[in-house]
Structure 1
Amino acid sequence: MMNKAYIGHELPPFTVDVEKGRLKFFAKAIGQTDPVYTDEDAAKAAGHPGLPVPPTFLFCLEMDAPNPGALRDLLDIDIAKVLHGEQRFKYHGGIHAGDRLTFQQRIADIYDKKGGALEFVVRETRVTNQRGEHVADLVGTTVVRNA
């Protein structure tokens, strides 16, 4: 069983730049056809200062952490037993190419179901931009299958 004493534990914050080329590549990869995500002129005509971040792109940036497996390492989770449970995004402001984002991850909850056969880790991530503005919250739930 995972140690519930880690509830509330914060991982070290990290900073990632939002790169225009990566945004265009991601938009194409997910089949986004709205030119606002791939054409700077279309983005500006729509009122954006630059290319906007597609809705789920922050998950990719969160994986740019110095150690994307830090949570698994901390809780001693075997990657072979991991299932992706849930992922949510809440945006509080616009995020665009050229922004520099800081991610602060925290273990919000650890609980189990089915007599411990399934354990759940809820990670909350607060995202701020280079001006210190709170622009998004991410919530990810990892499920661990136990014997």
Structure 2
Amino acid sequence: MSAAVEVTSPADLVGTDFGPHDVVVEAGLLQLFTKVVGLSDPLHHDPRAAAAAGNPGLLVPPTYLFGLERRHPEVPRIIGRLGIDIGSVLHGEQTFRYHAPAYSGDVLTFRPRFADYYEKKGGALRFLVRDTTVDRAGEPVAELRNVLVVRAAGGPA
């Protein structure tokens, strides 16, 4: 029998650092992603084209880092600590700022932090803001911001 998860207020978690998590950018998964989202630039899915352009691997498209960040084991644990029903979560916003390109074969370190929490519509909509830095061997690659909107029970759809 597993221990009960203690539900925490989102406001109490603001400033929480999730800790670093390394992810290898796998070429096969990157190729699948580019196919699914319809990216036609061969630098994202053709190793020969990437090599001919002088790249060390397939070029990672901007939004792909958000998918890699979700592999961080603390992200679902925090959602669980908040007692959030994943069916009540909406994608609110995402932004990214790149400092350097990323490629297949890279080992990227993700460092998410619970940056902010606020409510609207009398608490019917709760906004969870997560900021993440991404680096490769200590060199900055990107800064990500993800805003999740959680609908309270009986709140607006």
Alignment TM-score > 0.5, same fold: yes
Contact 1:44 1:50 in 2 (8 A): yes
Superposition deviation, residue 101 in structure 1: 0.8
Equivalent-residue separation in structure 1 for 2:101 and 2:110 (angstroms): 16
Alignment root-mean-square deviation, CA:
1.7
Residue 97 of structure 2 aligns to a residue whose secondary structure is strand
Superposition deviation, residue 27 in structure 1: 1.0
The equivalent of 2:41 in structure 1 is 34
Q: Deviations over 1:52-100 (max 9, x none)?
A: 1012111121122235412212322222221111111211101001100
Match status 1:144 vs 2:150: yes
**TM-score normalised according to structure 1 size:** 0.91
Contact 1:2 1:110 in 2 (8 A): no
Q: Deviations over 1:2-45 (max 9, x none)?
A: 44121111113211101111111111111111111111221123
Question: Please, which runs of 5 or more residues in structure 1 have no aligned partner?
Answer: none
The equivalent of 2:110 in structure 1 is 103
* Moved beyond 3 Å, runs of 4+: none
Contact 2:18 2:74 in 1 (8 A): no
The equivalent of 2:11 in structure 1 is 4
Percent identical pairs in the alignment equals: 49
Equivalent-residue separation in structure 2 for 1:68 and 1:120 (angstroms): 15
Contact 1:7 1:109 in 2 (8 A): yes
The equivalent of 2:31 in structure 1 is 24
Equivalent-residue separation in structure 2 for 1:70 and 1:15 (angstroms): 17
**TM-score normalised according to structure 2 size:** 0.85
Which amino acid counterpart does residue 39 of structure 2 have in structure 1?
Q
Contact 2:19 2:111 in 1 (8 A): yes
Question: Please, which runs of 5 or more residues in structure 2 have no aligned partner?
Answer: 1-7
Q: How many residues were matched structurally?
A: 146
Q: Deviations over 1:87-136 (max 9, x none)?
A: 1121110100110011111011000111111110100111111x211101
Equivalent-residue separation in structure 2 for 1:58 and 1:65 (angstroms): 12
